[in-house]
Amino acid sequence: MRIGDVGEFPLIERLAWIAGRGRADVVVGIGDDAAAVDLGGEDLVLLTVDSQVEGSHFVRGCIEPRVLGRRVLAVNTSDIAAMGGRPTHALVSLVLPTELELEWVEELYRGLAEEADRFGVAVVGGNVARCEDGIVLDLTLVGRVRREHLLTRAGAKPGDMALVTGSLGEAAAGLYLSSHPELEIPERDALLARHLAPTPRVEEGQVIGAAGLATAMIDLSDGLGSDIGHVCDRSGVGVRIHAAKLPVSPAVERVAEQIGKKAWELALFGGEDFELLFTASPHAAGVLAERVSAGTGTPVSVVGEVLPAPAGRRLVLPEGIEVPLEPRGFTHF
Amino acid sequence: MRIGDVGEFPLIERLAWIAGRGRADVVVGIGDDAAAVDLGGEDLVLLTVDSQVEGSHFVRGCIEPRVLGRRVLAVNTSDIAAMGGRPTHALVSLVLPTELELEWVEELYRGLAEEADRFGVAVVGGNVARCEDGIVLDLTLVGRVRREHLLTRAGAKPGDMALVTGSLGEAAAGLYLSSHPELEIPERDALLARHLAPTPRVEEGQVIGAAGLATAMIDLSDGLGSDIGHVCDRSGVGVRIHAAKLPVSPAVERVAEQIGKKAWELALFGGEDFELLFTASPHAAGVLAERVSAGTGTPVSVVGEVLPAPAGRRLVLPEGIEVPLEPRGFTHF
């Protein structure tokens, strides 16, 4: 069998089965946004790695290297945020063709350093290697979280509410606009920025973790419709998402209208918003929404409710009809 | 200017200048075998990342994936060993073409898991991404070291001895044999194994660190002739290496003879032996050599002495003539 026939998540599961043995100092191993390990300190240490591959994640001429540098750090920071943690240190592994302009790499690093400064991350090491076929950027991000503030994809309970920070579908709208310069949308620049250089919800994640009230959390990288499935898998629950409750901005409404889609479709199936999805009891949900918006200014919306596993994953369409929630979204392989 | 015109080490320096700001919790940043950071625990946390790029570091048909998996973990483990630490947790980032056989990746992971078990490493996460152009394997290794046991490339002092563990040139001899199947050497398999799946000197590094007597340490990945230069750079010293004192096995002598080279040339300029090079005062050198060989069974040899910086980097040839030590060895770019 070939990798392309296996699928991304089954592949990870197979590899985890081979190499991911449990151990007392591994609090969270393979299969969450970040690993959480006990290295003897008061806090747990969070570890995550992500790649940006030329041709697959970015096209060299279509993104400024400085923006790409910010993006590389941001997407990893989002994974630390999803555990309730704060990022502290980064390692950067660069695989570069010899013909690449030095200025390109320096600009990449300037963007990386800007974003690192913004989130209190120190770049402490890395590696450079050669590959004439294209650029691969691998960033490893280390973070910290107090043990009692750690949130994972496991822990959601039937009866919990499902909530998201901010608004959804903007990155997908920006992605669409990036290949359709003819579309006239007043918010074009803001949506493009949301697509190219997302803002990880670090403060929001820490507020949610510190409250000790949420039951599970994940960041929305592949899209809510797909990512909610990871929470269901790890928590052993089902879910009902309400299309009408998905937070969408007027800008996303406008783009959706122009391209003949529904805004909730962009919100549900568009990837890379890097908002946080979390679950909490109905009472805790209200407290958390208030604390996040008071502490960070970011709105929080209830988008659904957690169900027992046999109920499966459901989507209530705006007209009230309930259908199975298809795990569409972005996957590798 | 293009990356290929800059050179590997100047490139790293330029990037470190852009992104590598100092901070109180960064004990060792960019430019050593691993970073050492303070995450609030009693021990320092060591962080290192290394890539294996298809076509550049390995050829798919020329190395068993299981051996490659062991190798990927081993070379990173060597970097942790060079700081006096022990490895604890790993993240694996895989960039894979869709046409790759699943069995290949599973075998890679089996090798990785074997080596991880051997050194007490838990694989706690990673990433998979697609790239049709070839395989890139990135491994991030986390380790721990007691603050007072940490050794870096800085700290060597004029008057110190320079010592190495084990024997040199075997990986280079193995590399040569791998492309010359016609050469008849009784130790062929052992030398090939040394080239393909090196053994990091983890116990040795910990004995050296724990003794509190060494002044600097580095692992020999590019070759002694090149790597000693990093110690000189970071310590602000010169060095004199004696070709006649380099530890070479009869097997390396035999290969050298067959290919018309001197054994000391393989030992000095051959890369990937993954032995440890360390420095210590003449008295401490004797104590350390004894502790390492008593504690691990690995012999230690004095190969030279540390000089003041103005003396530069010198090589005493077997016939007694002293010449400048050229920093030959393996570099990217």
How do residues A299-312 score in pLDDT, each as one tens digit? 999 999 999 999 99
pTM listed for this prediction: 0.95
Share of chain A above pLDDT 90, in %: 86
Chain A residues 34-93 within an 8 A CB cutoff of chain B: 34-35, 37, 39-43, 45, 47-51, 53-57, 88-89, 91-93
**B40-71 pLDDT, tens per residue?**
999 999 999 999 999 888 989 889 999 999 99
**pLDDT of the residue at A327:** 74
- For A24, the closest chain B residue by CA position comes to B122
**How far is A44 from A41, CA to CA, in rounded Å?**
7
**pLDDT of the residue at A329:** 57
Please name the member of A6, A54, A116 whose beta carbon is closest to the beta carbon of B102.
Answer: A6
Mean pLDDT across the stretch A194-201? Answer: 93
* DSSP-assigned letter for residue A188: H
Determine, for residues B332 and A129 on separate chains, whether the beta-carbon distance falls below 8 Å.
yes
**How far is B213 from B210, CA to CA, in rounded Å?**
8
Q: Which residues of B touch A30 (CB under 8 A)?
A: 123-126
Q: Does an H or E element contain B206, and which? A: helix B202-211
A332: pLDDT confidence band, cut at 50, 70 and 90?
very low
Judge contact between A266 and A174, C-beta under 8 A: no
Q: Does A244 touch chain B (CB under 8 A)?
A: no
**How far is B195 from B178, CA to CA, in rounded Å?**
9
Q: Does an H or E element contain B296, and which? A: helix B282-296
Judge contact between B169 and B67, C-beta under 8 A: no
**A115-135 pLDDT, tens per residue?**
999 999 999 998 999 888 899
Residues of chain B with pLDDT under 70: 328-333
Q: Where are the alpha helices (DSSP H) in chain A?
A: 3-6, 8-19, 65-81, 102-118, 170-178, 188-196, 202-211, 224-235, 250-258, 263-269, 282-296
**pLDDT of the residue at A61:** 86
A50, B33, B176, B233, B259 from A138: Cα distances, Å: 6, 18, 32, 28, 40
Determine, for residues B103 and A1 on separate chains, whether the beta-carbon distance falls below 8 Å.
yes
**How far is B203 from A145, CA to CA, in rounded Å?**
31
Q: What order do you get walking across the sheet with B237-242 strand by strand?
A: B214-219, B276-280, B161-165, B300-308, B237-242, B313-316, B322-324
Structure token pair of residue B52: 């294996």
Q: Can you give B249-263 as a three-state secondary structure string?
A: CHHHHHHHHHCCCCH
Mean pLDDT score of chain A:
94
How many other CB atoms sit within 10 Å of the CB of residue A1?
A: 8
Q: Say yes or no to pLDDT of A253 above 60.
A: yes
Q: Say yes or no to pLDDT of A19 above 60.
A: yes
Q: Which residues of B touch A105 (CB under 8 A)?
A: 3, 11, 15
Share of chain A above pLDDT 70, in %: 98
Please name the member of B41, B48, B127 whose beta carbon is closest to the beta carbon of A39.
Answer: B41
Which domains are assigned to chain B?
A: 3-149 (3.30.1330.10), 161-324 (3.90.650.10)
* Nearest residue to A127 via CA among B247, B122, B98, B33: B33
Mutation to test the B interface, candidates A17, A91, A103, A121, most B Cβ within 10 Å: A91
**pLDDT of the residue at A8:** 84
Q: Which residues of B touch A41 (CB under 8 A)?
A: 39-42
Please name the member of B53, B140, B144 whose beta carbon is closest to the beta carbon of A95.
Answer: B53
Has the ipTM of the complex gone over 0.90?
yes
**pLDDT of the residue at B329:** 57
Structure token pair of residue B184: 């008849």
- For A41, the closest chain B residue by CA position comes to B41
**b/e code A141-169 from CB counts within 10 Å (16+ = b):** bbbbbeeebbbbbbbbeeebbbbbbbbbb
**How far is B227 from B219, CA to CA, in rounded Å?**
8
Judge contact between B82 and B217, C-beta under 8 A: yes
Determine, for residues A39 and B45 on separate chains, whether the beta-carbon distance falls below 8 Å.
yes
**A207-246 pLDDT, tens per residue?**
999 999 999 999 999 999 999 999 999 999 999 999 999 9
Which residues have C-beta within 8 Å of that of residue A240, sequence separation ≥ 6? A304, A305, A307, A311, A314, A315, A316, A322
Please, what is the Cα angle at B21 between A94 and B310, to 5 degrees? Answer: 90
**pLDDT of the residue at B67:** 95
Determine, for residues A37 and B140 on separate chains, whether the beta-carbon distance falls below 8 Å.
no
Mean pLDDT across the stretch A38-59? Answer: 94
Please name the member of B6, B110, B130 whose beta carbon is closest to the beta carbon of A332.
Answer: B130
**How far is B224 from A181, CA to CA, in rounded Å?**
56
Q: Which residues of A touch B20 (CB under 8 A)?
A: 122-124
Q: Which residues of B touch A126 (CB under 8 A)?
A: 12, 15, 30, 49
**pLDDT of the residue at B133:** 85
Q: Say yes or no to pLDDT of A330 above 90.
A: no
Determine, for residues A3 and B138 on separate chains, whether the beta-carbon distance falls below 8 Å.
no
How many beta-carbon contacts under 8 Å exist across A and B? 291
